[in-house]
Structure 1
Amino acid sequence: MARRIGIKDVAAAAGVSVTTVSHILNGVQGKRASAETRERVLRIADELGYAPNGLARGLRLQRSQTIGFISDEIATTPHAARMVLGAQEAAAAHGVLLLLVNTGGDAELERRSIEMLLQRQVDGVLYAAMFHRVVSLPESLRATPTVLLDARCEDPAIPSVVPDEVQGGYTAVRELIDHGHRRIGMAVPTEDIPALGLRIEGYRRALADAGISYDPSLVVAEPTVPTETTAGHAAAGYRAARRLLSAGERPTALFCFNDRISAGAYRAAAELGLSVPGDLSVIGFDNQELICEALHPALSTVQLPHYEMGARAVAQLLALTETPGPPPRPVSQEMLSCPLVARASVASPPRL
């Protein structure tokens, strides 16, 4: 096995002291070294294949250079996987290792997982939950730098990174209004999650700003069975859309809680002999590309900024771990905007 190249090897090859090499490689400010010496040391270190000893660096900084990522189901949910990717790449860019644990909502597994992460002396923890839920932070994390991801806590001292669901709902409905729609239905699941209420609030605000009266009969909810699966949401969307489109004065456009609900709405429209977007415009939420691009025509939607959320949560966590003492007050509750992804499912309403 090849011997690991160390600082002493670089120092010997460069003809300088070990202290000088250490100061240059670690970017220590205020230490005298000519530009020529710095350039020579860095070049030789690269030629020799020198890599810093992460363990030694961690001991020196009293940090493990690792952070935990605990989620209920984000790691196994395809459309939220980019949240993990964003966190992982942001951590890697700072030389930090991300330790991922998916609990599946099992409270005992979560407790044991947190215990194991803390035993490994992680520098901090990302605590993530699906659907922008309000969560209670486990007591065992109270003394550890923690950032909530796609979740909020009643304690304002716990920082969080979440999507701006209200703005996303507003953007989706505004797109329909801008195309001339005035009678806009909303197909939703019956799940008790904050994201649902926030998206409905965005729907109502967009209507109000356009001078359109809110009609509660145009918001139709159906249960998802099995809960939270693609098939369950599509079935709920189908039933909700059938109810909306079978009414005496049907809507000319539908805003669907998510892209899976939209897939069911497409099926309902087709069974009733309605074309999208000729007879009915449809807009979703999430930007699950496998669904949006597979539908015909391709679904216009609002994108949940999963990747950006993961990256921003890591940035917040690293800021906390690099700040000595208790976290600064007030702590940021950061909301990221949900941009419109326009495709082909929205057009002007038909002349009825």
Structure 2
Amino acid sequence: MSQEVKWLSTIRRPTLKDVAQAAGVSTTTASVVLNDRRDGVRVPDATRHRVQRAAEDLGYRPNILARSLRTQKTRTIGFVSDEVTTTPFAVGMLAAAQDEASRHGYLLFVVNLGPNAPLALQEQAIDQLTQHQVGHFIYGCMYHRLVDPPLGLPADTVFLNCEANGGRHRSIVPDDRQGAYEVAAELIKAGHRRIAFLDDHRHPPASRLRFDGFRAALAEHGLDYEPALHLKTTPFVRGGLVLSDLIDLPAEQRPTAVFCYNDRIAMGAYRAARTRGLRVPDDLSIVGFDDQEFIASELDPPLTTVRLPHREMGQLAIQLVLDEPGALDDVPAPKGNVIRIAGELVRRDSVAKPHSDLGQSDASSS
């Protein structure tokens, strides 16, 4: 490093002009190289490398504020969410979005508003981000639900893990129907014919889609849907305790397997089974949904479930909002503005063939 470069790096913040002088080029050429601009100027590779080396030696950093005053935008993305940043359940979605934004040279500004934040508070947060010249927006939710878009969001905003009412904005959500179909089919392939479904009583979009996938798997394998085995309950651990009501049915009506709306209900179902002296999966197979951290893999036995594609969704949201070419090449065609991303069936040890003689007989007769 030259004495001049050392002096500049210790006395004051180096400027674009300093970089140009150190590299022996014009300020315009230095700007084209460092700001990734073209402006009709073709810069040879050797010159480009010389400018980049000079900037590195000087410790030059672009003046983001000055650039934003010219372009009315900064290389920032606003991530407005309810609870995504405070829960391990969906935080992988945010981590993937941060990684992808960084890969493109963008900074993610995260605003966590908490559950059920009023629209006025959401709009205030969006207005403040806009005043700071945030260039793009992602609106993320902890779980798949319908939301009313707050005022002030630009048209290219991407809704993540939720569906925006009105159809104006693009939304990325898990393919809950396909995931439910696959995990229900896993039980059927193991020989189960009487499968209970412990559902979310709130009936969010994910509940409807998972129920549709469950019924589709039954129908495709020639099985009838039994309303008596479909119980609606709270989507928490205590919700799984309603399984006791089904275990107490006569043997010929009792389910041999249980599909739980989520892993927390499955945890409660494990408790209900053990309270009645049943072993999982020897006496009763149980599957869940979400592959929730600290639950699914830690149950005894570990739970067969569906991993939600949170990381893939977070990554795709950044690619869409930045209009990256080919972002949708590897995903199914959107239905309108809703993009559904497939999860992954995670096979563990909570599924086995039906244990009872009646269950074995039913399985072999189909």
TM-score per shorter chain, which class? 0.7 to 0.9
Distance (whole Å) between structure 1 residues aligned to residue 208 and residue 44 of structure 2: 62
Residue aligning to 1:308: 312
Letter in 1 for 2:264: R
CA contact (8 A) 2:172 2:340 kept: yes
The one of 349, 353, 356 equivalent to 1:348 is 353
Matches within 5 A, 1:88-107: 88-103=98-113, 104-107=115-118
Residue aligning to 2:128: 116
Taking a change above 3 Å as real, the CA distance of residues 202 and 242 of structure 1, as seen in their structure-2 partners, is: same
CA contact (8 A) 2:304 2:348 kept: yes
Matched position secondary structure for 2:172 = strand
Does the alignment pair 1:215 with 2:226? yes
Which aligned runs of 4 or more in structure 1 are off by greater than 6 angstroms? none
Distance (whole Å) between structure 1 residues aligned to residue 129 and residue 213 of structure 2: 38
Percent same amino acid at aligned positions? 46
Does the alignment pair 1:21 with 2:30? yes
Taking a change above 3 Å as real, the CA distance of residues 211 and 95 of structure 1, as seen in their structure-2 partners, is: same
Does the alignment pair 1:134 with 2:146? yes
CA contact (8 A) 2:123 2:151 kept: no
Matched position secondary structure for 1:180 = coil
Letter in 1 for 2:65: L
Distance (whole Å) between structure 2 residues aligned to residue 5 and residue 340 of structure 1: 53
The one of 51, 56, 77 equivalent to 2:61 is 51
Distance (whole Å) between structure 2 residues aligned to residue 149 and residue 34 of structure 1: 41
Does the alignment pair 1:236 with 2:251? no
CA contact (8 A) 1:124 1:144 kept: no
Q: Deviations over 1:177-217 (max 9, x none)?
A: 12222211111231131111111111000111111111111
Q: Name the TM-score, length of structure 1 as normaliser.
A: 0.87
Distance (whole Å) between structure 2 residues aligned to residue 10 and residue 31 of structure 1: 18
Letter in 2 for 1:69: F
Residue aligning to 2:247: 245
Segments of 5+ residues of structure 1 without an aligned counterpart are 321-329
CA contact (8 A) 1:220 1:244 kept: no
Distance (whole Å) between structure 2 residues aligned to residue 61 and residue 140 of structure 1: 19
Distance (whole Å) between structure 2 residues aligned to residue 47 and residue 196 of structure 1: 57
CA contact (8 A) 2:88 2:293 kept: no
Q: Deviations over 1:22-47 (max 9, x none)?
A: 22333444534433323322233333
Report the Cα offset of residue 234 of structure 1: 0.6
Residue aligning to 1:327: none
Q: Could you say what the CA RMSD is over the residues aligned between the two structures, in angstroms?
A: 2.3
User: Which has the higher relative contact order, 1 or 2, with Cα contacts under 8 A spaced 6 or more apart?
Assistant: 1
Matched position secondary structure for 1:65 = strand
Q: Deviations over 1:164-183 (max 9, x none)?
A: 11111111101111222221
CA contact (8 A) 2:89 2:142 kept: no
Q: Deviations over 1:210-268 (max 9, x none)?
A: 1111111111112x3xxx6xxxx1101112x1122221121111111101001001111
Distance (whole Å) between structure 2 residues aligned to residue 159 and residue 208 of structure 1: 32
Report the Cα offset of residue 6 of structure 1: 2.7
Residue aligning to 1:283: 287
